Amino acid sequence: MFDGYDSCSEDTSSSSSSEESEEEVAPLPSNLPIIKNNGQVYTYPDGKSGMATCEMCGMVGVRDAFYSKTKRFCSVSCSRSYSSNSKKASILARLQGKPPTKKAKVLQKQPLVAKLAAYAQYQATLQNQAKTKAAVSMEGFSWGNYINSNSFIAAPVTCFKHAPMGTCWGDISENVRVEVPNTDCSLPTKVFWIAGIVKLAGYNALLRYEGFENDSGLDFWCNICGSDIHPVGWCAASGKPLVPPRTIQHKYTNWKAFLVKRLTGAKTLPPDFSQKVSESMQYPFKPCMRVEVVDKRHLCRTRVAVVESVIGGRLRLVYEDSEDRTDDFWCHMHSPLIHHIGWSRSIGHRFKRSDITKKQDGHFDTPPHLFAKVKEVDQSGEWFKEGMKLEAIDPLNLSTICVATIRKVLADGFLMIGIDGSEAADGSDWFCYHATSPSIFPVGFCEINMIELTPPRGYTKLPFKWFDYLRETGSIAAPVKLFNKDVPNHGFRVGMKLEAVDLMEPRLICVATVTRIIHRLLRIHFDGWEEEYDQWVDCESPDLYPVGWCQLTGYQLQPPASQSSRESQSGSSKQKKKAKSQQYKGHKKKRKMPVGKKPVSLSSLPLTGGVRRSFSGDEELTPPPYRTLPAQTALEAFPPPSTSQEFSPSLKTVTTLQLKEELIDGEDYNFLQGASDQESNGSANFYIKQEP
């Protein structure tokens, strides 16, 4: 690691008494670069002769890194400029009749003392500005403060294979050393120092400068994938100075020997770490690509949409027939909700034809190989049949697992699923799941895993019993062996923090916690909200991200809801519930309104027979990051939910309204797919990891 650096002539064995009492560095994972002491080391400022000042530009840096034997200049350019100006000064002195001095002064060169004085004033101004900014940002959300104050644990980056560095994170862990900017310094140039990772939280790391021992006074959080984080050795290779923090600069008399002792045998980032970060943040989807995506107003069909923007692999899709380009939908590029053009026709899925007869200029079909691949299945033998019963996550109320029925068998392993007791007669609320989807389960899954199963709406024989229900409806259960029973070693643990998409408002990413783990199924809780807003999500869902993902990609993170926000919205929701009690007296749930979010009008919700046909109540274009509104404007745009006449009781409430028969509006094409499966007796066995 020290190869290529200038040799140090000073005795590397000398050190202060405090150094001798240093404990050995704890061993770290073996696949990170090891810093070795092979005779060539850094030259660090030791309080005596380690620093130098360029006589041309005034730059302060490590002496051995300066140019020429005299170490008077920081670079060849400064040396030549000084020489040229010296000659001009000498000629000018002769013309003025003055004897030339032995060491001519550089023309227009400002004294170093004046520079330092000016810089000190500049630093004071910056500090005042920083204090002002800090006072404003205290009201914002900080992952570091949130984790430190509550002793939370974040899910590691390796749990998120779809996220940047998810597959090449390696053994980055505590005690890994990095080179970072030294903020505890009054020098006029940007200098660096070495820090060690004290704690990891997703992409974020709590760092402590070398030399502070157990003193956490200057510990700071930063994103380990940021542009200012470098492996040990980067400064020497880049000619950047390493300067100890001002607070501890007199702690040791020989910083070079201290660092050699501390760094020998320690771990640092791979040399190509920043390159890997950059490569992992390159996404194949580009604006103007055309895709087929689920119609958020009518879940049973797809529509053509165009990629408007890409942020961290998340796509903002605008439906192609949207006149004002505000009819949009957010999802990840690996989402099972998007497909290549022609997918609906190939499997027999319902599709809404666009009014646009030809592609707009610049738009082009997305290559099929860019989409997430589904597992191939064999439908020739025993397979799912129409009418079979199962359990499924309600796509319009992701906190519940409901009694469901297979309504149609499509090609390539896709199924149309309906939620019992909440279906429209025309099938407009059916939802497409693949046979290997982790969102469908065999009969008995909830009972064996102690999960509350939501019975069909209007079913009176409670508690619900599958045996009785199958007999009453004359149905059979889908065979257990047809379901996906793969459980990967995902690495999630109960209590871990992460950033998660609110799938009911897919443009929002919120602070969240894993509260329950059932095989590969995760119960995601949105911090600051009641449990009724939780969502069941697969462990490999592309809608889950490590802590720090929003900061890394520039997406806005929704902080935990405050108690006052919850109370005001709960009060408004209760009022609406009371008003709606004349229409439906069954189980209802209010929908959360995240902090700073515009209330949704019931009139804007697309309904079919009283059923919400949308994933999101947000029908307006609000791409992150969000624009900050003036106080008065903000009050007008975001009226308090407790007083707003347009506050919706929530998507979860709307989805439970009485269903009525009603045809879907617009031209709707159903591509028929012939299929003849043999009859199956089914099975009512409980879901277990092994074959029953």
pLDDT value for 67: 63
Q: Are 377 and 386 in contact (CB under 8 A)?
A: no
**How large is the average pLDDT for residues 136-142?**
57
pLDDT value for 297: 87
| Nearest residue to 145 (alpha-carbon basis) of 94, 204, 190, 86 | 204
pLDDT value for 121: 56
Residue that the structure tokens 């007008």 belong to = 636
pLDDT value for 590: 41
Phi and psi at residue 61, to the nearest 5°:
-160, -175
Euclidean distance between the first and the last CA atom of the chain, given in angstroms as a whole number: 55
Tell me the three-class secondary structure of 619-643, residue by residue.
Answer: CCCCCCCCCCCCHHHHHHHCCCCCC
CATH class for the domain made up of 283-373 = mainly beta
Provide the whole-model pTM. 0.69
pLDDT in tens, 322-332: 887 888 999 99
Looking only at the bridges linking them, the beta strands covering 60-62 and 557-558 are unpaired
Confidence of residue 13 (pLDDT cuts 50, 70, 90): very low
> What kind of fold does domain 172-266 have according to CATH?
SH3 type barrels. (2.30.30)
**How large is the average pLDDT for residues 20-29?**
42
Q: Please indicate whether residue 648 or residue 281 has the higher confidence score (pLDDT).
A: 281
Residue 595 confidence (pLDDT) above 80: no
pLDDT value for 309: 95
pLDDT value for 70: 72
The pLDDT mean for the chain works out to 74
**How large is the average pLDDT for residues 614-628?**
37
CA distance 507 to 471: 43
> What kind of fold does domain 496-561 have according to CATH?
SH3 type barrels. (2.30.30)
Q: Percentage of the chain with pLDDT > 70?
A: 62
Task: Please give the full DSSP string across 460-504, using - where no structure is assigned.
Answer: -SSS--HHHHHHHHT--BPPGGGS----------TTEEEEEE-TT
Q: Please indicate whether residue 497 or residue 675 has the higher confidence score (pLDDT).
A: 497
Domains 172-266 and 383-485 share a fold: yes
pLDDT in tens, 177-229: 999 999 998 888 899 999 999 999 999 999 999 999 999 999 999 999 999 99
CA distance 505 to 306: 19
Q: Which two tokens stand for residue 498?
A: 């992460």
Phi and psi at residue 422, to the nearest 5°:
-135, 35
Which H or E run contains 607? Answer: strand 607-608
Q: How distant, in Å, are the alpha carbons of 43, 441, 620, 684 from that of 50?
A: 7, 68, 60, 78
The dotted CATH code for 383-485 is: 2.30.30.140
Phi and psi at residue 560, to the nearest 5°:
-60, 145
pLDDT value for 136: 29
**How large is the average pLDDT for residues 564-574?**
51
Confidence of residue 361 (pLDDT cuts 50, 70, 90): confident
Phi and psi at residue 372, to the nearest 5°:
-60, 135
CA distance 404 to 231: 53
Among 12-16, 310-314, 666-670, the range of highest mean pLDDT: 310-314
Structural domain boundaries in the chain: 172-266, 283-373, 383-485, 496-561
Confidence of residue 117 (pLDDT cuts 50, 70, 90): low
**DSSP code, position 428:** T
Q: Please indicate whether residue 676 or residue 257 has the higher confidence score (pLDDT).
A: 257
| Exposure class string for 154-184: b at 16+ Cβ within 10 A, else e | bbbbbbbebbbbbeebbebbeebbbbbebeb
pLDDT in tens, 34-91: 665 443 433 344 434 456 677 776 666 666 666 666 777 777 667 766 665 554 554 4
**DSSP code, position 268:** B
Worst-scoring range by mean pLDDT, 147-156, 506-515, 659-668?
Answer: 659-668
**DSSP code, position 605:** S
The angle formed by the CA atoms of residues 341, 343 and 346, to the nearest 5 degrees, is 130
Question: Could you tell me what percentage of the chain is helix, strand and coil, using 3-state DSSP and rounding each to the nearest 5?
Answer: 20, 20, 55
Q: Please indicate whether residue 360 or residue 438 has the higher confidence score (pLDDT).
A: 438
Confidence of residue 528 (pLDDT cuts 50, 70, 90): very high
The residue length of the chain stands at 692
